[in-house]
Amino acid sequence: MNPSHRLSHCLSIPFVALIVLCASAPALAKSRDKILTETLRTYAATIRWGSIEQAETFVDPAYRAAHPLTPLELDRYKQVRFTNYNDTAPVPVNDNEVRQTVEIGIVNVNTQDARSVIDRQVWKYDKKAKVWLLTTGLPDITRQD
């Protein structure tokens, strides 16, 4: 290989790497959006089915550590059935945070009283784990909206 070909070959490798990196940037963003869509869909289904223990796995571990569910709170969740989950489209705050407002219908299994609560959620993207985490905790079913 003559020196000019060697030089052009060496220069082309970083150039190709740059092109691949630039082309993959939208794919990374789409991937994050796809992960968000899947996370919100799965969380909604989990709440609808009333699996609070499973829903808690979506909550940011730092939030869970600071606000562990008490036995009383777990008992309260067991006394209700979730009847609907009406969510709005998530609103981006920045690349790594979205807000979503959800109206959740609940029925007390003992009294059959029905009502709804508004859950204002904040989801943050964990770049390292490549997951969206709920930073506002599980829905507060004791609120009277």
In a domain, 144, yes or no: no
Q: By residue range, what is the domain housing residue 30? A: 3-134
pLDDT, residue 13, reads: 44
**Number of structural domains found in the chain:** 1
pLDDT, residue 30, reads: 61
> Per the structure block, which two tokens stand in for 57?
């796995």
Q: Residue 100 phi/psi, 5° resolution?
A: -145, 140
CB-based contact 140:117 (threshold 8 Å)? yes
DSSP 142: T
In a domain, 74, yes or no: yes
Q: Could you give the percent of the chain with pLDDT greater than 70?
A: 79
Helix (H) or strand (E) holding 32, with range, is helix 3-48
pLDDT tier at 144, thresholds 50, 70, 90: confident
CATH of the domain at 94: 3.10.450.100
> pTM (2 decimals)?
0.78
In a domain, 140, yes or no: no
> Per the structure block, which two tokens stand in for 20?
């691949």
Q: Could you give the percent of the chain with pLDDT greater than 90?
A: 76
Condensed to tens digits (0 to 9), the pLDDT of residues 37-59 reads 999 999 999 999 989 999 999 99
